[in-house]
A = this chain, B = another copy of it.
Amino acid sequence: MLRETLATAYRKDPALHRARSAEVLLYQGVWALLAHRLAHALWIRRHSFAGRLVSQLSRMATGIEIHPGATIGRRCFIDHGTGVVIGETAEVGDDVTFYHGVTLGGRGWWVDHKGEKRHPTIGDRVTLGVGATILGPITVGSGSRVGPGALVIEDVPPDSTVVAPLAVAIRVRGRSVEPSGEPPPSARW
């Protein structure tokens, strides 16, 4: 498990070179996933307070918040990770990559009920870009990509890509401009 987790980080992080591969031991995404294995094991054995305590300590150390009830598959990689929030009923497949700031959350306290499925299901080999916000009991199909900053509240089919709008220029070289039409989104990610 540890070996697989470390190998995944090495494979997915271009900043990690062979000669400096010991750095992977410092990766907060690796710590958070190992802490989650412990928290989840406690949780499913109904040691819920202990599970929550492990989760909260991990959050303090890593900035990554994974509810101990969440299910995470194999060879997951969380890069950078600050601000990641994964809710209690989220289910994540194998070989999923998270960048920082990704939320797998509920729709809101006024529509979600205790004890029901409130959080997304993520298939295998999905990449979730920085700041992607995926809300509600929806499914992101296997092989899909969710772009940086994308807000997703409906199902995403397998092998699909969804993207957020790009910024537009309102001043160029000191002169105000009318924003032209958005650049073609297919160039985005």
**Which A residues lie at the B interface, using CB under 8 A?**
12-17, 20, 22-23, 26, 28, 48-49, 52-53, 56, 59-63, 65, 67, 69, 77, 79-80, 82-83, 85, 87-88, 97, 99-101, 103, 105-110, 112-116, 118, 127, 129-131, 133, 135, 143, 145-154, 156-174, 176, 179, 183, 185-186, 188-189
- The answer to whether B108 touches A189, judged by C-beta atoms less than 8 angstroms apart, is yes
Which residues of B are found within 8 Å of A109, using beta-carbon distances?
12-14, 77, 79, 97, 127
**Looking at chain A's contact residues, is the secondary structure mostly helix, strand, loop, or mixed?**
loop
Query: B87, B131, B156, B161: which contacts A133 (Cβ < 8 A)?
Result: B131
CB distance from A165 to the nearest CB of B (A): 5
CB distance from A19 to the nearest CB of B (A): 8
Query: B12, B67, B129, B151: which contacts A164 (Cβ < 8 A)?
Result: B151
- The answer to whether A65 touches B82, judged by C-beta atoms less than 8 angstroms apart, is yes
